[in-house]
Amino acid sequence: MSSNNPVNLRLPDGSVRTFDKPVTGTTLAADIGPGLLKAALAIKVNGDIWDLSREIEEDSDVAIVTKKDEDGLELLRHDAAHIMAEAVQELFPGTQVTIGPVIENGFFYDFARDKPFSDDDLEVIEKRMHEIVKRNEEIIREVWDRDEAIAYFKKIGEHYKAEIITDLPEGEVVTIYRQGEWLDLCRGPHLPSTGKLGDAFKLMKVAGAYWRGDSKNEMLTRIYGTCWTDKKELKAYLHRLEEAEKRDHRKLGREMDLFHLQEEAQGSVFWHPKGYTMWLQLEKYIRSRIQEFDYQEVKTPQVLDSKFWEQSGHWAKFRENMFVVPDETPSTEEGAPIISPDAKLMALKPMNCPAHVQVFKQGIKSYRDLPIRMAEFGCCHRNEAHGALHGLMRVRQMTQDDGHIFCREDQITEETIKFCELLASVYRDLGFPEFRVLLATRPEKRSGTDESWDHAEKSLEDALKATGLDYGFAPGEGAFYGPKLEFHLNDAIGRTWQCGTLQLDPNMAKNLGATYIGEDGNKHTPIMLHRAVLGTLERFLGIMIEHYAGKVPMWLAPVQAVVAPITSEAGEYAQEVFDKMQAAGMRVELDLRNEKINYKVREHSVKKVPAIIVVGKREAEQGTVSIRRIGSKDQTVIPFTEALEAFTKEATMPNGTA
C-alpha cells in the first residue's frame, strides 16, 4: 500500500490508514466503506473542518463528519444558506448577496434588492431550494487571487462581496465555492454536493437588517431559515417553538389577569391586582436581601431641571432617550400654543444615579464612611424607540432595583465580589442557577478620558476575575459613563435579556462634584458602582413568568390556593377551610359557584393557581382536603391541619421571610 509519499491518517479510534497521494476525505470515506462514503459531509483534519474534496498533504488526525455530528449540522445549515442564495439569485436576478451565516437552530442570508422580499416570496424561494437540492450540484472549492476576485465581483455587480473581500485581512486566502452555475465567496467548508442537504429545512421569516449592523448604512432584507438533519427534527423544532409561544408572558399576563398595556401609555404597564401582588412579593424579597447586604434605601425625585442633566452628562449622551417636561403653566387660551417655545425644561429621570449623588453630597463624607451602599426602587422613564418595546421586557417606564455603591478605589474588588455573591444567590433563589455574564467595554459615545476607561475596564475585569464567574465580552456595549458587567437570562423562545448589571463609573461623581475626605485630609472623588440585581422589576417578572410558564413558586403566586367545594353540600366546610387559610396569611380564593368540579379545576388550572383544594362530603366528614397541584393530574387527600402547615411553609420566601 505504501509508496514514495504515503500519507498516514489517524482515525478517532486510533487506527491509522495509509494512502498514496493524492488523498482526500472522499478517498478515506470510500476506503472505510460505501455507507460512510454516502453519509460523509466533510472531514475534520487536525481539528479543522475541511471539504471532502480538499487534498490532505500531510499525516493527520482525521474524522469523517456526518449529519450526526454537531459540526455536520452546522455544515448543513451553512449550505442551506448558500442554496437559498442561489435560489434567490435565480428567481430574482439583480439581487446582491452579502453575508449568510449559521445561527442557533438555522441560518440567514442578507440580500440587497430594491424591493424587499415579502412572505409570499419565501414559498417560491423554498420551492426552488428543493429543486436545487434535487439537482445535486457538485460544490467545488476554488482559491482565487484577491484582486481578480474583487474585479470579478465588481464586474457582476456584487458590490457588497467586493467590499467584503477588500476588507479581508492581508494574507487571507480568498476561496470561492461553485455549485452548478452559481458561485459565492465563502470561507467554507461545504458539503460535497447540494443533494446532501436533504429536505429538513424551512424558511421562517423576512426582516430588515442593516448592512454591517449599522443603522447609518442601507437596510438589507434578511431571510431566516431553520434547518435540521431530518424531517422529524424539523417538526420537533417547530413544535418546540409553538410550545414556547404558549409561555409568552404577554399571553400569560392576559390569561392570568396580571397586567395589560394599551396604546395611550405605550411601553408603560397597567398592573392588575394579581400582577401587582407578584410585584410586591418580589420587591419584598429583594428588599430583605439588600438589607442583609447593608444597603440603605432612599427615594429621590422624578422630575429634575435640565441643567442638572447637563451636569451629569445625560443631556449630551442620553437626551434622545429622555422625556422632557416643560416647567410652565400650560396655556388654556384657544388657539395659542400650550407651551411657549422658550419654556424652561425639566426631564423625567432616566436613571437614579445623579439623584443619588445629590444625597451623597449632603454633608461631608469621610473615607471612613465608605462604602456607602444606597438603594432605590427607582421609577425611571426612557423614551425607547417604538420598535424596541416588548411587553414587560422592554418598557418606557421601569422600576429598577437600583443601587449605587460609593467607594474608594481599593474597595472595588471587594464590593464587586459581594455584589456578585448577592446576585448569584438571588438568581438561585428565584430559579435561575445559571446565567450569562458579559463584560461590556467602552462605547463610542462616552464621557471621560481614555485613561480613565483603561483603568476602569481593567479594575472591573480584575474584580470580575476575583469572583470566579465565567464570563464573555461585549465590546463597545458599556454605559456612557463606564464599563459594565451584564447578567443575562433567557426568555421562552431563547432571546437573551440583560437583567442584573454592575457598572464601574469613575466619571459621574466627579462631574457632579461629589467628594469625600481621604485619610490624607484631602478631597477625593469616590468611585461609583451602579448596580441592579434584578435589573428592572418589569423585565424580571416577565422573565420569571416565561421561565415558570406562569406556574411560579407559591410565595410569588398571586393566588396561592383556591378552595372549591364539589357541591353546595360541602359549602360550609369549604368556607371554614378558606377562612382558616386566610387567617394563616395565605392568598386564597373560595369558589362557591354552581359549577361542576371539572369546570372549576379547569378554570383555576388555566389561571395557574398552584393548589386547588377540592372538598366534598367525604372531606367535610373527615376534616381532610383533596389537593390538586398545578401541573399534576394526581390528587392527595390529607388532614386539613397538615395541609395548612405544609402550605404556609411552602408560601415562605426563599430566604425565609414570611
Partner RNA sequence: GCUGCCGUAGCUCAGGGGUAGAGCACUCCCUUGGUAAGGGAGAGGCCGGAAGUUCAAAUCUUCUCGGCAGCACCA
Residues of span 470-509 touching RNA by CB under 7 A? 477, 479, 484, 486, 493, 495, 497-499, 501
Tell me whether residue 382 is one of the annotated catalytic residues: yes
Tell me whether residue 530 is one of the annotated catalytic residues: yes
Q: Which of 199, 236, 225 is nearest to 122 (CA)?
A: 225
Residues numbered 309-338 forming contacts with RNA, rule: CB under 7 A: 321
- The one catalytic residue in 442, 484, 539, 628 is 484
Q: How many residues bind RNA (CB under 7 A)?
A: 87
Q: Which of 601, 611, 643, 644 binds RNA (CB under 7 A)?
A: 601
C-beta of 649: minimal distance to RNA in Å?
Answer: 22
Residue 409's SS3 state is helix
Q: Are 307 and 347 in contact (CB under 8 A)?
A: no
Q: Which of 155, 368, 386, 649 binds RNA (CB under 7 A)?
A: 386
Residues sharing a CB contact under 8 Å with residue 617, sequence separation 6 or more, in sequence order: 566, 567, 569, 570
Please identify, using beta-carbon distances, which residue of 178 and 436 lies nearer to RNA.
436
Q: Which of 37, 64, 129, 395 binds RNA (CB under 7 A)?
A: 395
C-beta of 192: minimal distance to RNA in Å?
Answer: 31
- The one catalytic residue in 250, 381, 530, 607 is 530
Q: Does 257 bind RNA (CB under 7 A)?
A: no
Q: Which of 189, 535, 550, 610 binds RNA (CB under 7 A)?
A: 535
Cα angle 499-501-503, degrees, rounded to a multiple of 5: 155
Binding segment for RNA among 80-88, 176-184, 207-215, 506-514 (CB under 7 A)?
Answer: 207-215
Strands (E), 352-444: 372-381, 397-407, 436-440
- The one catalytic residue in 78, 79, 96, 353 is 353
- The one catalytic residue in 401, 402, 491, 505 is 402
Residue 91 CA neighbour count, 13 Å, CB half: 20
Please identify, using beta-carbon distances, which residue of 192 and 253 lies nearer to RNA.
253
Binding segment for RNA among 126-134, 171-179, 201-209, 338-346 (CB under 7 A)?
Answer: 201-209
Q: Quick count: other Cβ atoms within 10 Å of Cβ 634?
A: 7
Which strands form 611-615's sheet, in the order they lie side by side?
A: 588-590, 561-565, 611-615, 624-629, 635-639
Rounded to an integer, what distance in angstroms lies between the CA atom of residue 567 and that of residue 592? 8
Q: Which of 196, 356, 394, 531 binds RNA (CB under 7 A)?
A: 394
Tell me whether residue 400 is one of the annotated catalytic residues: yes
Residues numbered 539-578 forming contacts with RNA, rule: CB under 7 A: 539, 566-569
Q: Which of 351, 299, 296 is nearest to 323 (CA)?
A: 351
C-beta of 522: minimal distance to RNA in Å?
Answer: 33
Rounded to an integer, what distance in angstroms lies between the CA atom of residue 204 and that of residue 122? 8
Please identify, using beta-carbon distances, which residue of 23 and 256 lies nearer to RNA.
256
Counted residue by residue, the chain has a size of 658
**515 grid coordinates:** 467628594
Q: Which of 388, 584, 638, 646 binds RNA (CB under 7 A)?
A: 388
Q: Which of 169, 387, 433, 468 binds RNA (CB under 7 A)?
A: 387
Please identify, using beta-carbon distances, which residue of 185 and 499 lies nearer to RNA.
499
Please identify, using beta-carbon distances, which residue of 362 and 594 lies nearer to RNA.
594
C-beta of 185: minimal distance to RNA in Å?
Answer: 21
- DSSP state string for 515-546: -EE-TTSSEEPPEEEEEEEEEEHHHHHHHHHH
| Helices and strands (H and E) in the chain: how many | 20, 33
- DSSP state string for 553-597: -TTT-SS-EEEEESSGGGHHHHHHHHHHHHHTT--EEE---S--H
Alpha helices in 144-183 (DSSP H): 146-155, 159-166
E strand or H helix at 238, and its extent?
Answer: helix 231-246
Rounded to an integer, what distance in angstroms lies between the CA atom of residue 403 and that of residue 381? 17
Residues numbered 109-138 forming contacts with RNA, rule: CB under 7 A: 115-120
C-beta of 302: minimal distance to RNA in Å?
Answer: 16
Q: Which of 519, 618, 655, 657 binds RNA (CB under 7 A)?
A: 618
The site map against RNA for 55-74 (x = CB under 7 A) is --------------------
| CA distances from residue 200 to 76, 234, 582 in whole angstroms, order as listed | 10, 6, 55
Binding segment for RNA among 3-11, 135-143, 290-298, 588-596 (CB under 7 A)?
Answer: 588-596
Please identify, using beta-carbon distances, which residue of 51 and 591 lies nearer to RNA.
591
C-beta of 623: minimal distance to RNA in Å?
Answer: 13
Tell me whether residue 353 is one of the annotated catalytic residues: yes
Q: Which of 10, 130, 361, 390 binds RNA (CB under 7 A)?
A: 390
Q: Does 391 bind RNA (CB under 7 A)?
A: yes
Q: Which of 151, 134, 252 is nearest to 197 (CA)?
A: 134
Q: Are 360 and 380 in contact (CB under 8 A)?
A: no
Crossing angle between the packed helical segments 412-429 and 273-292, to the nearest 10 degrees: 140
Q: Which of 280, 303, 338, 606 binds RNA (CB under 7 A)?
A: 606
C-beta of 520: minimal distance to RNA in Å?
Answer: 34
Q: Which of 443, 517, 548, 575 binds RNA (CB under 7 A)?
A: 443
Binding segment for RNA among 65-73, 278-286, 387-395, 517-525 (CB under 7 A)?
Answer: 387-395
Residues numbered 265-294 forming contacts with RNA, rule: CB under 7 A: 266-267
Binding segment for RNA among 133-141, 289-297, 457-465, 602-610 (CB under 7 A)?
Answer: 602-610
- The one catalytic residue in 82, 289, 381, 404 is 404
Q: Which of 399, 415, 397 is nearest to 407 (CA)?
A: 415
Tell me whether residue 560 is one of the annotated catalytic residues: no
256 burial level (CB within 10 Å; 0-12, 13-18, 19+): buried
Catalytic machinery residues:
353, 382, 400, 402, 404, 484, 530
